[in-house]
């Protein structure tokens, strides 16, 4: 089928750049994947709770007062007319993403949610973490924000409201990290600002970040999103729509981060070695879906399936027989998992012109070896 549509010049340039880097074979694959991603988002509407972004007509005077007070319980930072978030001073990371203080005795942490899967189980590709959870730095930022909000919400945070507030501040963080990406000429694969709400995306980017990188909850009280998937947040007992960090989430928030805590604003590192080891250990011990995905990909790369195309073909055998997985769906799941593994230093991308090859790092070999010796 041939479909014609209008494409702005800047979108065309972005597509050209991604295709040239080897991320997609051609325009057809790029557009098909985008449509599949959007369909997948809509098809999960029964699982991922919708988040309503409040209109800009709320009292701007109240928001200004909260912003000026510096209270960690309220993160709104909008301009006087309520339509635009103030830009931070260059070189500044919003305070809510800075390292939290020590845990107060009256702050209520959540238990790690029970998992449907068992550690060590081979989990099919369609049950891996959602492919659009394509970076891990947003998880760090969101854990930091929740940790800084909890002292004034000791019984837990109302998820819908907190998710939007954190996403708005994440857009401020994106401004600073885009500045660093430009300053350091960071390669597209390694950009710090990827997956954060674009300053120009308005409410659509806020809603996406809210649901994917903070969390959503359905009518049955089931949490969704990257933080819940990694066991970094959980529901507070007795309060259906209230969440808190788990012990793992709080510990992760406390760890120093070179991107959020660096003083010179000139580092391109997303995580410290300590943070990477912490997340790898958490995934190995408590996140069956991610553990299985990493094991599968590391083994397949080791068997020579080390390009996007070859890996996608091999991954078709890891889809449930009764699940109709399109090529674009498999590509989304593979791309998301590879990007998360790259953030953790388990795999690396090597480029030869427009061609991309995946390489298992020493840390990746150790991760796999740990499972083989159990």
pLDDT band, very low/low/confident/very high, at 265 (cuts 50, 70, 90) = low
pLDDT digits (tens, 9 = 90+) for 186-239: 888 889 999 999 887 768 899 999 999 999 999 888 999 999 999 999 999 877
Region 1-30: what's the mean pLDDT? 57
| Lowest-confidence region among 60-74, 111-125, 247-261, 330-344 | 60-74
pLDDT band, very low/low/confident/very high, at 4 (cuts 50, 70, 90) = low
Whole-angstrom Cα distance, residue 68 to residue 112? 35
pLDDT at 77 over 90: no
The predicted pLDDT at position 15 comes to 64
Mean pLDDT of the chain: 81
pLDDT band, very low/low/confident/very high, at 343 (cuts 50, 70, 90) = very high
- Global pTM value: 0.76
pLDDT band, very low/low/confident/very high, at 114 (cuts 50, 70, 90) = confident
Whole-angstrom Cα distance, residue 129 to residue 340? 10
Task: Please tell me whether residue 363 adopts helix, strand or coil conformation.
Answer: helix
Whole-angstrom Cα distance, residue 12 to residue 33? 16
| Lowest-confidence region among 78-87, 120-129, 232-241 | 78-87
**In percent, how much of the chain has pLDDT > 70?**
74
Q: Which residue has the higher pLDDT, 60 or 179?
A: 179
The predicted pLDDT at position 73 comes to 42
Within 10 Å of residue 103's Cβ, how many Cβ atoms? 17
pLDDT at 68 over 90: no
CA 196 to chain centroid: 8
Q: What six digits make up the tokens of 252? A: 């992760």
The predicted pLDDT at position 239 comes to 75
The DSSP letter of residue 214 is: I
The predicted pLDDT at position 253 comes to 97
Whole-angstrom Cα distance, residue 211 to residue 60? 25
DSSP string, 303-346: TT--SHHHHHHHHGGGS-TT----HHHHHHHHHHHHHHHHHTTS
Residue 223, strand partner residues: 217
């Amino acid at each position: 089928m041939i479909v014609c549509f209008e494409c702005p010049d800047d979108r065309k340039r972005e597509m050209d750049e991604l295709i040239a880097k080897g991320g997609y074979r051609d325009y057809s694959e790029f557009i098909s994947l985008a449509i599949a991603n959007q369909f997948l988002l809509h098809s999960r509407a029964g699982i991922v709770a919708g988040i309503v972004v409040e209109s800009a007509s709320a009292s701007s005077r109240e928001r200004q007062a909260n912003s000026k007070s510096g209270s960690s319980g309220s993160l709104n930072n909008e301009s006087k007319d309520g339509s635009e978030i103030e830009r931070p001073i260059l070189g500044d990371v919003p305070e809510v993403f800075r390292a939290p203080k020590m845990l107060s005795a009256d702050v209520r942490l959540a238990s790690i949610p029970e998992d449907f899967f068992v550690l060590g189980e081979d989990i099919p590709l369609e049950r891996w973490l959602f492919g659009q959870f394509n970076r891990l730095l947003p998880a760090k930022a969101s854990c930091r924000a929740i940790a800084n909000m909890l002292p004034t919400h000791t019984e837990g945070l109302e998820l819908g409201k907190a998710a939007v507030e954190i996403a708005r501040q994440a857009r401020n963080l994106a401004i600073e990290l885009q500045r660093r990406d430009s300053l350091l000429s960071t390669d597209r694969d390694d950009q710090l600002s990827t997956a954060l709400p674009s300053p120009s995306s308005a409410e659509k980017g806020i809603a996406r970040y809210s649901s994917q990188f903070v969390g959503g909850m359905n009518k049955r009280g089931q949490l969704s999103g990257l933080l819940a998937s990694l066991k970094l947040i959980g529901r507070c007992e007795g309060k259906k729509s209230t969440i808190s960090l788990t012990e793992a989430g709080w510990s992760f928030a406390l760890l120093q981060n070179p991107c959020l805590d660096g003083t010179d604003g000139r580092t391109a590192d997303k995580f410290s070695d300590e943070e990477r080891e912490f997340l790898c250990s958490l995934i190995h011990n408590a996140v069956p879906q991610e553990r299985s995905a990493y094991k599968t990909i590391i083994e397949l790369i080791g068997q020579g399936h080390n390009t996007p195309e070859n890996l996608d073909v091999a991954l078709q055998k890891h889809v449930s027989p009764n699940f109709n997985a399109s090529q674009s769906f498999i590509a989304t799941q593979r791309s998301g998992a590879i990007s998360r593994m790259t953030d953790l230093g388990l795999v690396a991308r090597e480029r030869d012109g427009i061609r991309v090859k995946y390489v298992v790092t020493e840390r990746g070999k150790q991760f796999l070896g740990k499972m083989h010796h159990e």
